Structure 1
Amino acid sequence: MTLNFPNPSRSFDSARSAVRFSGYDGMFEVPFLVESAALGTSTPDVRPSEAFETTCLSAFDTLRSSIYAAAVKAYSEGRRAPLILTSADIR
């Protein structure tokens, strides 16, 4: 089977300063995280704010096709879940 992304939902994980989303390989859910730095946002020195969360989610939406392509590549390389995408993955 191939990895696909039928569910466009994503959420912000403030503990990891990353955006969570899922892909699916057949009936199996594959969890992913995208670091905020990979989205072109810098992590605040203090607790992430609501504005920072909104910025990260908006950046994810803008970069969605690149993120999905990086996710497919990471998954095909056999990385273990949750797969964490960094700036090096998203170019």
Structure 2
Amino acid sequence: MISFPNTSRNYQVSKQSVCFWGYDSAFEISFFVGRDMLERIADRPSTGEADLLQIFDANRPQIQEVAARAYSSRRGNYYPLAQKDF
């Protein structure tokens, strides 16, 4: 079962994604939500890194629910979340 006790997240310019982490027991799982997906969630273009992090924070419960579903269907340690996951 995956959990999200760590509220840390960061924007990775090279991937144009917000990265966050979940944990399955002692295993750390990395998740990425791309700029395009965050803009789709917000239903507007973003104004940059700070705005993307704010969109992520405002939608964290939904994004973590999607991440948990994705993890349960295909276990691994790296998940770029895409439109099909939402």
- The TM-score normalised by the length of structure 1 is 0.81
- Choose 1 or 2 for highest CA Rg: 1
CA distance in 2, matches of 1:81, 1:25: 10
Identity of aligned residues (%): 34
Q: Structure 2: which 5+ residue stretches go unaligned?
A: none
CA distance in 2, matches of 1:36, 1:87: 12
Task: Name the residue aligned to 1:55.
Answer: 51
Q: Structure 1: which 5+ residue stretches go unaligned?
A: 44-50
Task: Name the residue aligned to 1:46.
Answer: none
SS in 2 for 1:7: coil
CA distance in 2, matches of 1:84, 1:27: 21
CA distance in 1, matches of 2:75, 2:26: 19
CA RMSD of aligned residues (A): 1.7
Say if 1:13 and 1:19, in contact at 8 Å, map to a contact too.
Answer: yes
Task: Name the residue aligned to 2:67.
Answer: 71
> Which structure: greater helix fraction?
2
What aligned pairs does 1:1-91 form with structure 2 within 5 A after superposition? 2-40=1-39, 42=45, 52-90=48-86
- The TM-score normalised by the length of structure 2 is 0.86
Instruction: Provide, for residues 26-82 of structure 1, a one-character-per-residue CA deviation record: whole Å limited to 9, x for no partner.
Output: 010001100111111658xxxxxxx51101100000110010000001001115431
Q: Letter of the 1:81 partner, please give it.
A: N
What is the aligned length? 82
